[in-house]
Structure 1
């Protein structure tokens, strides 16, 4: 039985350990449709996407920042999400929408995913994570790397979020109340 969207949101958990099974072309095509159909401000579509399956490239990308990307070397697929700040002042938001849609499609198809934050992260004291990634994938200077989404078949399932973990105190009606 197919899960509702709310159930998929509850079940989607970051996955950092994947099986070695490759992601098929039919599934990649579904990711392509999801990102190219993703909404953008004024329909500007300021994003670009680079699909990476080459193990050597994934290994290089896994070193894009000191913490939080090493697991990328074990992912069968990564999607680098880039935006063009000259096309839209809200390119970050537009790229973020595409990124979460990729993650929800992955969940819907039974795959795992994790968002790797690149924008405003450093590779080292001399180089930003974004510039490091752009160099590896040969992206033009005018683009900015928002994130990388690691995707693959889950090595293990994680428990869904529980209702008692909901932070109801963060919800306000009509006005902000402390």
Structure 2
């Protein structure tokens, strides 16, 4: 796992190649196996591959997210606010699990924060995505995970030299 964390980097440029259905299924299976508080599993996912919808999804943030229209796959991560008060944590874990599974499958990914952000359409990012995708009120929109085959040069891996031991406290702060 540590090796994967060292090499995984956010990807904002994707090949035009579609993500195969088997890989898409593995991403969604991994997301649904993510741990949740008290096993509530409050997350749900909206899978987007339609180019017109992806183009509109690019306006979900201010400034816009120019890579979203060109990503072959976007997974919108939702949390059911009526199921638990830990939906943010649970949906966040599912979001990163999608990204780690993508890395394992040879795919690139990028997290687009939606919660507490503004769109370039004069409304919150969440309201914009909710209206675009017909998401009901009890489902909160946490993130959009863009997934695809990385295009271009791969960024250099992280290094263990980046680990800041001063941020580790033992027994007390």
| Superposition TM-score, scaled by structure 1 size | 0.93
2:85 corresponds to 1:113: no
CA deviations on 1:77-123 (whole Å, 9 max, x unpaired) are 00000111111000000000000000000110111001000000111
Deviation of residue 175 (structure 1)?
1.4
Hey, what does 1:161 align to over in structure 2?
Answer: 158
Pick from 87, 91, 96 the counterpart of residue 91 of structure 1.
87
Structure 2: which 5+ residue stretches go unaligned? none
Hey, what does 2:16 align to over in structure 1?
Answer: 20
Structure 1 residue ranges (4+ consecutive) displaced by more than 6 angstroms after TM superposition: none
Paired with 1:31 and 1:125, the residues of 2 have a C-alpha distance of: 30
Pick from 42, 46, 55 the counterpart of residue 46 of structure 1.
42
Structure 1: which 5+ residue stretches go unaligned? none
Deviation of residue 22 (structure 1)?
0.5
Q: Choose 143-152 or 119-128, whichever is displaced more.
A: 119-128
| Superposition TM-score, scaled by structure 2 size | 0.95
Paired with 1:72 and 1:125, the residues of 2 have a C-alpha distance of: 16
Alpha carbons 1:68, 1:116 under 8 Å: kept: no
Hey, what does 2:141 align to over in structure 1?
Answer: 145
RMSD over aligned CA atoms reads 1.2
